[in-house]
């Protein structure tokens, strides 16, 4: 769905922000982009949605070179939620804001209304439909921006720190939405500083440092590479740190850790049996975990 | 007398009740975390504590917020700025906007207190070193990364030698290493400095605070230790738990825990707790 080949970018007469970046993202995959502030993560998203043009190399979205089409065309398949959602609002009501995109697709009034109603319902914004987006709190603003992206039924969703400042309830709503999009075949690429969120939600992790892509692999592989992680100025999720210090099987998040802990206490073979896999699936925390398979 | 005293504070904004029946005493040197979900009233309370919402404001309110027995509105602005500093979530909104270097930016606040230039110089150099900003002293703050800018904002606050530092999700936009740097600086402050942290997540708070309060829909629901407050069912559902505490919670449900072993809220605490469980079970 998304391919970057030898991608490089520099803002006018400055050092390159990104250099020699190559990766691909398939449909139905959740890909996290991690790295320190200034590592080039947000710039990468702007290259993927066509708002920036690569200095070197190229970005292909569904096989189309972003240099060959206007960003407005790419917006039909690429939805973006920026880190500061208030910067992307220009309508006086939430419903108007969300309906702007589908109106540009040539849909009739009924189709637009149907899509907007659905997007507002999924993001929990029905009661704010007539409110000015700038009168909402930051979390609700992020959901308005997300609704504006989802209403276009994108095939690629780019999210920049969308979980920032959200409480556990809002994070659960977000995680449900993202897993629904993934199940529907959407490729989701999200920039995130919260390694616990990354551990719970990503299939793949792109680790950036100083404009270089240091690693592109599963969360377990990337977060287990302690030297690489340290060089990039990041820390592994707390449960992985804990499992390592306790000498347990590596665990990325709490329910994963408890299964490792049970193995450790019982001294059983660490190879997971079917019944144990089933047990891991049903282990549920009432508020902070999401259901489903570990990565 | 408490350093900051809030009594029966009611606050409405845009016709909506934001804070209701808030009473709170904060003693000098306390490290307090006020945790709450979205729409709980955290930012409004942070502003009230820091004296940013004056008594003559047009918003409907009742109750009082005092600093050493005096209402904020009775204190001259310079005294208020020396008493309390508020660090918010978005650093670039708190820079002066002047064409300053980092050094000038940090000197701006103390300069407005009409201090002796040598004292201003001493404070600026001290906080730049404390916050690791020496190498950025001659940079334009607006060319810095978000993490570096937030550290400048914290340095600005510390250069005022405040008695109270109010922090409203100060590491929300920072990468883990920058956030770690902020917590290290805050942990190293004199025990005389009172810190009140507002946050949506308990993960950072457990590293710094000794007293926790849970704010929900503008009211305090719980006040006490981490165990008392973070394990409150309403806090768990709206804030979640730190991952290590969640793992312990699940281990209890799975009966792979031991009676008498407390809930760990940090990785270091969890290593100790899990080892205790191991000893108890073998």
pLDDT of residue B62: 83
Q: What pTM value is reported for the model?
A: 0.87
Q: How confident is the model at residue B276 (pLDDT cuts 50, 70, 90)?
A: very high
Distance separating alpha carbons of residues A210 and A39, to the nearest angstrom: 5
Domains of chain B with bracketed CATH: 28-47+77-226 (3.40.50.300), 241-282 (no CATH)
Q: B258: distance to nearest CA of chain A, Å?
A: 12
Distance separating alpha carbons of residues B212 and B230, to the nearest angstrom: 8
Q: What is the dihedral of CA B11, B12, B17, B23, to 10 degrees?
A: 0
Per-residue pLDDT tens digits of chain A, which is 295 residues long:
999 999 999 987 678 899 999 999 999 999 999 998 778 898 999 999 999 999 999 999 999 999 999 988 899 999 999 988 888 899 999 999 999 999 998 899 999 999 999 999 999 999 999 999 998 988 999 999 999 999 999 999 999 999 998 999 999 999 999 999 999 999 999 999 999 999 999 999 999 998 999 999 999 999 999 999 988 989 999 999 999 999 999 999 999 999 999 999 988 755 444 455 455 544 454 444 443 333 3
β-strands B219-224, B211-216 pairing: antiparallel
Q: B23: distance to nearest CA of chain A, Å?
A: 24
Distance separating alpha carbons of residues A186 and A184, to the nearest angstrom: 6
Under 8 Å CB-to-CB from B10, ≥6 apart: which residues? Answer: B17, B19, B20, B21, B22, B60, B61, B62, B63
Q: B113: distance to nearest CA of chain A, Å?
A: 33
Those of residues 142-181 in B touching chain A at CB distance below 8 A are: 145-148, 169, 172-180
Q: pLDDT averaged over chain B?
A: 90
Q: Which own/partner contact pairs does A86-89 have at CB distance under 8 Å and 24+ positions apart?
A: A86/A133, A86/A134, A86/A141, A88/A145, A88/A148, A89/A133, A89/A134, A89/A141, A89/A144, A89/A145
**With an 8 Å Cβ cutoff, is B140 touching chain A?**
no
Helix (H, G, I), strand (E, B) or coil at B224: strand
User: Over the stretch B35-56, which tens digit does the pLDDT of each residue have?
Assistant: 999 989 998 999 999 988 655 5
Q: Which residue of A has its CA nearest to B253?
A: A283
If we measure between CA atoms, which residue out of B239, B208, B207 comes closest to residue B222? Answer: B239
User: Over the stretch B196-209, which tens digit does the pLDDT of each residue have?
Assistant: 999 999 988 998 89
| Domain at A2-235, CATH homologous superfamily | P-loop containing nucleotide triphosphate hydrolases (3.40.50.300)
Q: A168: distance to nearest CA of chain B, Å?
A: 5
**With an 8 Å Cβ cutoff, is B274 touching chain A?**
yes
Q: Which residue of B has its CA nearest to A192?
A: B175
Q: Which residue of A has its CA nearest to B176?
A: A234
* Structural domain boundaries in chain A: 2-235, 237-295
H or E segment and range at residue B167: strand B164-168
pLDDT of residue A269: 52
Q: Are A201 and A159 in contact (CB under 8 A)?
A: no
Give the one of B169, B246, B256 whose C-beta lies nearest to A261's C-beta: B256
Give the one of B201, B240, B271 whose C-beta lies nearest to A287's C-beta: B240
> Are the Cβ atoms of B176 and A193 closer than 8 angstroms?
yes
Residue A18 pairs in a beta bridge with A9
Give the one of B237, B251, B256 whose C-beta lies nearest to A168's C-beta: B237
Percent of chain B with pLDDT over 70: 97
Q: How far apart are the first and last CA of chain B?
A: 51
If we measure between CA atoms, which residue out of A27, A141, A151, A134 comes closest to residue A99? Answer: A151
Give the one of A140, A169, A258 whose C-beta lies nearest to B251's C-beta: A258
Higher-pLDDT residue of B98, A55: A55
Distance separating alpha carbons of residues B256 and A199, to the nearest angstrom: 23
User: Could you say which DSSP state residue A130 is in?
Assistant: T
Those of residues 2-61 in B touching chain A at CB distance below 8 A are: 14, 36-39
Max Cα-Cα span within chain B: 67
Higher-pLDDT residue of A76, B99: A76
Place of tokens 């990354």: A198
- From chain A, pick out residues whose CB is under 8 angstroms from the CB of B145: 36-38
Distance separating alpha carbons of residues A210 and A22, to the nearest angstrom: 15
Give the one of A233, A262, A285 whose C-beta lies nearest to B249's C-beta: A285
> Are the Cβ atoms of B38 and A193 closer than 8 angstroms?
no
Distance separating alpha carbons of residues A136 and A134, to the nearest angstrom: 5
Interface probe, candidates A287, A289, A290, A291, chain B, greatest B C-beta count within 10 A: A287
Q: How confident is the model at residue B93 (pLDDT cuts 50, 70, 90)?
A: confident
Q: A96: distance to nearest CA of chain B, Å?
A: 22
pLDDT of residue A291: 39
């Amino acid at each position: 769905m998304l391919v970057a080949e030898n991608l490089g970018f520099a803002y006018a007469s400055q050092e390159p922000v990104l250099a020699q970046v190559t990766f691909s993202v398939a449909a139905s995959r959740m890909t996290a982009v991690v790295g320190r502030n200034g590592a080039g993560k947000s710039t990468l998203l702007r290259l993927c949605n066509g708002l920036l043009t690569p200095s070197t190399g190229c970005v292909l979205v569904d096989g189309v070179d972003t240099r060959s089409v206007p960003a407005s065309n790419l917006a039909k398949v690429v939805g973006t939620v920026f880190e500061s959602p208030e910067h992307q609002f220009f309508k006086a009501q939430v419903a108007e804001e969300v309906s702007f995109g589908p109106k540009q697709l040539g849909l009739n009034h009924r189709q637009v209304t149907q899509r907007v109603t659905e997007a507002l319902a999924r993001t929990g914004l029905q009661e704010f439909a007539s409110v000015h987006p700038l009168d909402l709190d930051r979390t609700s603003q992020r959901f308005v921006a997300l609704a504006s992206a989802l209403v276009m039924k994108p095939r690629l969703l780019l999210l920049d720190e969308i979980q920032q400042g959200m409480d556990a309830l809002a994070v659960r709503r977000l995680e449900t939405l993202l897993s629904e999009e993934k199940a529907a075949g959407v490729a989701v690429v999200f920039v995130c500083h919260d390694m616990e969120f990354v551990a719970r939600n990503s299939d793949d992790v792109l680790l950036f440092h100083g404009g270089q892509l240091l690693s592109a692999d599963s969360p377990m592989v990337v977060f287990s590479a302690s030297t690489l992680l340290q060089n990039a100025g990041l820390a592994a999720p707390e449960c992985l740190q804990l499992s390592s210090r306790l000498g347990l099987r590596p665990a990325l998040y709490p329910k994963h850790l408890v299964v490792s802990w049970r193995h450790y206490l019982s001294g059983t073979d660490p190879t997971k049996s079917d019944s144990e896999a089933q047990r891991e699936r049903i282990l549920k925390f009432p508020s902070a975990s999401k259901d489903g398979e570990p990565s | 007398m408490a350093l900051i005293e809030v009594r029966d504070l009611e606050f409405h904004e845009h016709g909506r009740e934001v804070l209701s029946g808030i009473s709170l005493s904060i003693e000098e040197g306390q490290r307090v975390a006020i945790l709450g979900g979205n729409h709980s009233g955290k930012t409004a309370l942070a502003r009230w504590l820091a004296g940013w919402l004056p008594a003559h404001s047009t918003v409907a309110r009742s109750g009082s917020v005092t600093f050493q027995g005096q209402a904020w509105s009775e204190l001259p602005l310079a005294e208020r700025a020396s008493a309390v500093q508020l660090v918010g979530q978005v650093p670039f909104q708190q820079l002066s906007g002047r064409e300053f270097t980092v050094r000038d930016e940090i000197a701006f606040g103390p300069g407005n207190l009409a201090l002796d230039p040598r004292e201003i110089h001493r404070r600026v150099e001290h906080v730049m070193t404390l916050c690791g900003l020496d190498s950025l002293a001659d940079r334009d703050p607006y060319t810095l990364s978000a993490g570096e800018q937030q550290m400048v904002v914290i340095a600005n606050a510390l250069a005022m030698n405040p008695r109270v530092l109010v922090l409203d999700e100060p590491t929300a936009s920072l990468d883990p290493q920058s956030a770690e740097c902020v917590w290290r600086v805050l942990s190293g402050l004199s025990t005389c400095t009172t810190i009140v942290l507002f946050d949506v997540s308990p993960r950072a708070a457990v590293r710094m605070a000794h007293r926790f309060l849970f704010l929900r829909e503008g009211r305090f629901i719980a006040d006490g230790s981490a165990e008392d407050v973070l394990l409150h069912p309403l806090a768990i559902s709206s804030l979640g738990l730190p991952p290590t505490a969640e793992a312990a919670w699940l281990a209890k449900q799975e009966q792979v825990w031991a009676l008498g072993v407390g809930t760990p809220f940090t990785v270091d605490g969890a290593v100790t707790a899990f080892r205790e469980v191991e000893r108890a079970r073998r």
